[in-house]
Structure 1
Amino acid sequence: MLELNWLGCLAAYHPRRQAVWFRGAWLTYAELYQRAQRAAGTLRDLGVGKGDRVGLLAWNHPAYLDLLFAGPLLGHILTPFNHRLSLPELQALYAYTEPRALFYGEGFQEIAQALDPRALPLEVLLEGAEMEEAARVGLEDPALLLFTGGTTGLPKGALIPYRQLLVNAVQTAFSWGLSREDRYILATPMFHAALNALATPLLYLGGSVVIQERFRPEEYLDLALTHRPTLLFLVPTMFQMLLETPGFAEADLSCVRFAISGGAPCPAPVREAFRRKGVRFKQGYGLTECGVNCFTLELEEAEAYPESVGRPMPHLKARLVREDGQEAKAGETGELWLSGSVVMKGYFRRPEENAKVFVHDGERLWLRSGDLAFQDEGGRFYIVGRRKEMFISGGENVYPVEVERVLYDHPAVREAAVVGVPDPKWGEVGAAFVVLKEPLEAEALRAFLRQRLAGYKVPKHIVFLPELPKSGPGKVQKEALKRMWEAEHGQA
């Protein structure tokens, strides 16, 4: 059996090496493992056993790592909750997952104890005696229960097995060219995929992670100047906010080997702004249910094909399937299906949802991603949007991501999102929701789009907003925009 308690091994290999920085102090690998042992001891004393869910409601904090690395010692399943959700939303998720214990960070006591009167502050987590023995945990046992970024209805809990964590760490380190000398600032929410996106791959190698409790661009820039990260990993909105931060233009980022944008396609003007500072850029792609890092591309090729997410990771197969069920040819758009050892175990207590996303093809199990993509002649993949976001206008398919990319090319546009809305003549047309940097008339923006897009792709409606609604991980909530439109104009 593969060793799943690899942090214990690293603590023995290089106990004094810096692992995690938080609130002005470094934790060594030995200290990080000791925290995990204490967390396991605390949970054991609370009656937590193998397979029990352990909830966490907190800003970014080492406690996420404490509970994750305590897993191989006790066998529980870390279940982090999105602290941006309302109490009724959290209550529904809590009833769905039934955690055996719940821990909360600063500022979350009231809502945590409304979820569970037995909820405990994070400080209690490290009061237990260090646990030495390891649980009988295997590769297929769940380590994490991560909620998908649902915008309607109850989010689904994806069961992430140790197999997925381990393979993702190894192939991310290998395919992205990471080393033990690398360092990054963990600023994306740890209740989502940030734990296994870059934190665990770097720690697996013996690298170092700087934890920022909440993303504040000014503070992030200060942390970058102080800790000299070699990698940047943010979602496009965060990159946009960072480049608009006072001091960004003068900041020395020569320490950065490359930046990775995840969560959504990064606008070309944002990438170019970082390139002018010498920061090389890659476009990442992943989903909670698979990996989380699914594709890779060498830097030179990433710069030559900036819209591409690259080719599948070594332990992952990808195919594109058309609406008629046939394999898409080069240049044709199809739904992205993924298969391999980084696919989730399934959705927690959701057999009907598992039946929708899993497809058996002989001996291989495929995960339907719900994303639409195409492949060029060189085998590179390009994401064009969510299957459910595509709309048909006058018989023609419109992919919102394609329109959004052109919107972002206008110098007055800060943020943009396009959705399909009902139209009596064309069936559906585009509605563009736009946040501006400077004043701009809707018709001027539409004229700009007509120069770059076919007429049916140009949004019939343009709505200017002060900001776009976003989920915890920073993704634009297009369902919220649709509801906004329907409230104003009706559904037909």
Structure 2
Amino acid sequence: MELNANWLARLAEYHPSRPAVYWRGRWVSYGELFQRAQRAAQSLAGLGIQKGDRVGVLSLNHLGYLELYFAAPLLGFIPTLLNHRLSQAELEGLLEYTRPRALFYGEEFADLARRLYPLAASLESLQTLSPGPLSPDQAGLEDPALILFTGGTTGLPKGALIPYRQLLVNAFQTCLSWGLQKDDACIVATPMFHAALNALATPLLYLGGRVIIQEKFDPAEYLRWVEEHRVSLLFLVPTMFQMLAQHPGFASANLQSVRWAISGGAPCPAPVREAFRAKRVRFKQGYGLTECGVNCFTVELDEAEQFPESVGRPMPHLWARLVDGNGQENPQRGELWLCGPVVMAGYYNRPADTAEALVEQEGRTWLRTGDLAERDEDGRYFIVGRAKEMFISGGENVYPIEIERALYDHPAVLECAVVGVPDARWGEVGLAAVVLKSPVSAEELRGFLKSRLAGYKVPKHFLFVPELPKSGPGKILKGALAARFKGEHA
């Protein structure tokens, strides 16, 4: 089977003048976007970049991400996207790990990039460096298209090798299963070094839609752009949806152009969904992970509103199974395993980690997601937490996500995260870290939860904090919370 990894060239032929990407106050057409990708590839060829070489990127959201994304199949290099929120020491570790042949930066990171890599150049220079000849070879389905780093909370992040088959299958089945339309527009506000490229940006470009790049998330600008550009699809992580709902301009914001909103990265709290529903924005829950490309489930809007905690059913070209602690398939509950053409090739230069994540069974390669899920009798899936987050209190399994959902129902709770910490009597108990909207005591929250949950699920400890630690994509870093407070509350 052969698929065209260089599909932007076709779209540039079909509709060269159609607006593709909004960047710093102007629209870049499909024809110009492909020209810029070609010029970027020629600039890299002039630097001696060859097939298989890694090319690092350290930047806020930038048009250069797309230039490199579409230049890659023209030359065969591998864009290696770095989390700009990491420390210099952490970034040095990632550069030592991946050994890129070039590093390009956004202007905010010029000094840091040059300390990391003295020959680093700006993303703008992709259009001006001395050009070299392009290879006539076409990228194959199994060739690596990207290295995306997993959002690990301890140790060096692993680089997931994303093959072209993953990008292509994710694009066309997202268009099909999510009902994307060529007139749709979305704002890319989540970090482009992570899943933002694959979630909606490239599927929408694959269809001929419009993508608006927001360099750094700003709720006021985001709300203004939704109205100004007639944005029809919203993709954000729960923290960002919450920031929109809390913004003073949200009540008067015109969201009439929005067909639906989808939350990724973690379950979206019910009060946030309700805030958007009050604005007549239909809401659904997504699920995906870097290693599986990234939209794994689909759900119709009517069903999403009837079952708001469900992520729906697997995409057409994806198989799912639930596996218990003994490695046996369980039809109702277990660790979620996924299989299909959107599964990564493995972790770059990490054979042991690859062997742990990818399991060969019955002629298929399964990805162990590490997420616990339930499946109802109609085949709907519900994500109930991370396997590593579950803790055992007095012999009972406790799933933090269940407690967090209950906490979010309290009007004083803005954000929360629950982790298990050691306890001399019960083995482990819950610790709830809470960011408040208004004053409330630990005893009041404890009583609120006791009316909704079994006693062993109610956290023993409540910690009120001004903010929760978050990763670059906006996920709450529960590992950091657990590491910080295990000793204190042991």
Q: Pick the TM interval, shorter chain.
A: over 0.9
Looking at structure 1, the residues matched to 224 and 133 of structure 2 have their Cα atoms a distance apart, in angstroms, of 37
| Kept after mapping to 2: 8 A contact 1:4/1:162 | yes
Instruction: Give the match for residue 33 of structure 1.
Output: 34
Matched residue, 1:263: 265
CA contact (8 A) 2:160 2:346 kept: yes
The 5 Å alignment of 1:89-488 reads: 89-128=90-129, 129=131, 134-330=136-332, 333-486=333-486, 488=488
1:250 Cα deviation (Å)?
Answer: 1.1
TM-fit CA distance, 1:488 = 3.2
1:441-478 superposed Cα distances (whole Å, 9 cap, x missing partner): 11001100001000000000000000000000000001
Query: Partner of 1:383: helix, strand, or coil?
Result: strand
What's the secondary structure of 1:220's corresponding residue? helix
TM-superposed CA distance for 1:487, in Å, is 5.3
Deviation for aligned residue 1:222 = 1.4
In the alignment, does 2:90 pair up with 1:84?
no
Report what 2:11 is aligned to.
10
The alignment yields a C-alpha RMSD, in angstroms, of: 1.0
Structure 2 distance, partners of 1:83, 1:488, is 31
- Measured after TM superposition, the shift of residue 135 of structure 1 is 3.0
SS at match of 2:250: coil
2:45–2:134 contact (8 Å) kept in structure 1: no
How far 1:136 moved relative to its partner?
3.3
Question: Using the alignment, how far apart are the partners of 1:130 and 1:8 within structure 2?
Answer: 19
CA distance in 2, matches of 1:273, 1:134: 52
Following superposition, the deviation at residue 131 of structure 1 comes to 6.2
Aligned AA (1:454): A
Name the aligned partner's letter for residue 306 of structure 2. A
Shift of 1:63: 0.2
Q: Which residue number corresponds to residue 20 of structure 1?
A: 21
Q: CA deviation at 1:483?
A: 2.2
Q: Once the 2 structures are TM-superposed, how far is the Cα of residue 133 of structure 1 from its aligned partner?
A: 5.4
CA distance in 2, matches of 1:409, 1:162: 42
Distance 1:73 1:131 in 2: 10
Superposed CA offset, 1:307-362 (max 9, x none): 000000000000000112222133xx200000000000000000000111111112
Query: Could you tell me how far apart the structure 1 residues matched to 2:110 and 2:134 are?
Result: 31
> Could you tell me how far 1:40 is from its partner in structure 2?
0.1
After TM superposition, give the deviation of residue 486 of structure 1 in Å: 3.3
Structure 1 stretches lacking a partner, 5+ long: none
Distance 1:340 1:279, change over 3 A: same
CA distance change for structure 1 residues 96 and 133 in 2, over 3 Å: closer, same or farther? closer
Q: Is the 8 A contact 1:430 1:457 kept in 2?
A: yes
SS of the residue 1:114 aligns to: helix
Aligned-partner SS, 2:290: coil
Contact persistence 1:394–1:427 (CA under 8 A): yes
Contact 1:173 1:201 (8 Å CA) reproduced = yes
Identical amino acids, percent of aligned pairs = 68
Q: Distance in 2 between matches of 1:425 and 1:251?
A: 51
C-alpha separation in 1, matches of 2:164 and 2:328: 33
Deviation, structure 1 residue 107: 1.4
- Residue 354 of structure 2 aligns with an amino acid whose one-letter code is N
Letter in 2 for 1:178: L
- In structure 1, C-alpha distance between the alignment counterparts of 2:375 and 2:292, rounded to whole Å: 19
Give CA-to-partner distance per residue, 1:28-78, whole Å, 9 cap, x none: 000100010000000000010000000000110010000010011000000
Deviating above 6 A after TM superposition, structure 1's stretches of 4 or more consecutive aligned residues are none
Amino acid at match of 2:53: D
Question: How far apart, in 2, do the equivalents of 1:123 and 1:11 lie?
Answer: 22
Q: Is the 8 A contact 2:58 2:106 kept in 1?
A: yes
CA contact (8 A) 1:184 1:230 kept: yes
Shift of 1:225: 1.8
State the alpha-carbon separation in 1 of the partners of residues 135 and 255 from structure 2.
Answer: 44
Which ranges of structure 2 fall in alignment gaps of 5 or more residues? none
Equivalent-residue separation in structure 1 for 2:488 and 2:111 (angstroms): 35
Aligned length: 488
2:392 match: secondary structure: strand
* Residue equivalent to 2:47: 46
For normalisation by structure 1, the TM-score amounts to: 0.98
Q: Distance in 2 between matches of 1:132 and 1:115?
A: 28
Aligned residue type for 1:395: G
Alignment check: 8 A CA contact 2:227 2:257 kept = no
Tell me the distance in 2 between the aligned counterparts of 1:145 and 1:204.
20
Alignment-mate amino acid for residue 83 of structure 1: H
Letter matched to residue 44 of structure 1: A
Query: Aligned partner of 2:372: which letter?
Result: L
**Change in 2 beyond 3 A, CA 1:231/1:398:** same
Q: Residue 124 of structure 1 aligns to a residue in which SS?
A: helix
CA distance in structure 2 between the aligned counterparts of 1:368 and 1:160, rounded to whole angstroms: 16
Secondary structure of the residue aligned to 2:310 is coil
Contact 2:224 2:253 in 1 (8 A): no
Name the amino acid aligned to 2:185. R
Q: Secondary structure at the match of 2:311?
A: coil
The alpha-carbon deviation at position 226 of structure 1 amounts to 1.0
AA paired with 1:306? P
TM-score (norm 2): 0.98
Contact 2:236 2:263 in 1 (8 A): yes
